[in-house]
A and B are shown apart, each in its own frame.
Chain A
Amino acid sequence: MARATIAIHGGAGAIARASMDADKELLYRQALLQIVASAQALLAAGSSALDVVTEAVRQLEACPLFNAGVGAVFTHEGTHELDASVMDGRTREAGAVAGVRRVRHPVLAARSVLENSPHVLFIGQGAESFAEKQGLEMVSNDFFSTPERRTQLEHALNTQQTLLDHDGGLPPDRKFG
């Protein structure tokens, strides 16, 4: 019997203690703890690794603090384009979507590609149609928008930079992706 183990990430970057205010740091820690603890409970209950990583990333997508799903960064045109993938080590099967705009949980679309199609990667409109046919929840693109990310876009536009979400932060909160 293997020792069930889970790890999650919410992005890396120039996250220095000095530049993060205590309240915001607490929000991040609470979000990470809640998600990793619930994944640990799923593993303890016998869930498969594939189900657990899918659910953990779905929760991370639902949390506005991280650059995925709600809280995603903005493109140059002020829109959101989301990408996701899942891979099962037992079978080497994989599913992915790229450039989707209306799929509430891209990781669920990726999982559906893995399970319900002979393909690995769907992009753009095709990925959206596939997700819709699979009965996944569709939302308007601005569902993913948050004020913090809009401020980051304005900062990036003013400085003519393309910023990884790791660099997309503003002083003092230079968040990483």
Chain B
Amino acid sequence: TVGAVALDSAGNLAAATSTGGMTNKQVGRVGDSPLPGAGCYASERVAISCTGTGEVFMRTLAAYDIAAMMEYGGLSLQQASDKLIHEKIPALGGSGGLIAIDTDGNLALPFNSEGMYRGYAVAGELPVVAIYREE
């Protein structure tokens, strides 16, 4: 599964996710990636793209849940992302990660697995890529 989130210079946010699904999956099985609110979500406040145990990200409406925790719970992007990835997803036996940007340009790239292929770049700064947890 792959994804991208962006904040443009006009202050607009967007998200995209794409996947080949699961190895050896039953034909016809669909995970969270194509479902707005589960594997991909963007509003005027936050953009999110997820990767992981699709069924759990669907049942938790993971991407939208972050936006809701921020909007209704007053949590920051980092707090909401961490709560989802390190509490809610594992509580249902899921694993994976996500990337997210909010309208202030805050970034969150949490994951509860050993690693995540990821990268980010802020205007005027050098891009950063990482794979392992300890980076």
Question: Main SS of the interface on chain B?
Answer: strand
Contact flag A7-B43 (CB < 8 Å), given A1-B9, A12-B51, A153-B24: no
Identify B4's interface contact among A2, A7, A29, A121, CB under 8 A.
A7
**Minimum CB–CB distance for A128 against chain B, Å:** 14
Query: Do B24 and A84 have beta carbons less than 8 Å apart?
Result: no
Contact flag A48-B14 (CB < 8 Å), given A85-B33, A85-B36: yes
In the complex, A2→B33 CA distance in Å? Answer: 28
Chain A residues engaging chain B, CB cutoff 8 angstroms = 1-17, 20, 25, 28-29, 32-33, 35-37, 39-40, 43-44, 46-50, 52-54, 56-57, 60-61, 66-69, 71-77, 79-90, 92, 94, 96-99, 106-107, 110, 120-121, 123, 144, 149, 152-153, 156-157, 161-168, 176-177
Chain B residues engaging chain A, CB cutoff 8 angstroms = 1-31, 33-36, 39-47, 49, 51-54, 95-101, 103, 105, 107, 109, 111, 113-124, 127-129, 131-132, 134
A-B contact count (CB 8 A): 359
In the complex, A107→B20 CA distance in Å? Answer: 12
Identify A49's interface contact among B6, B28, B35, CB under 8 A.
B6
**Minimum CB–CB distance for A53 against chain B, Å:** 4
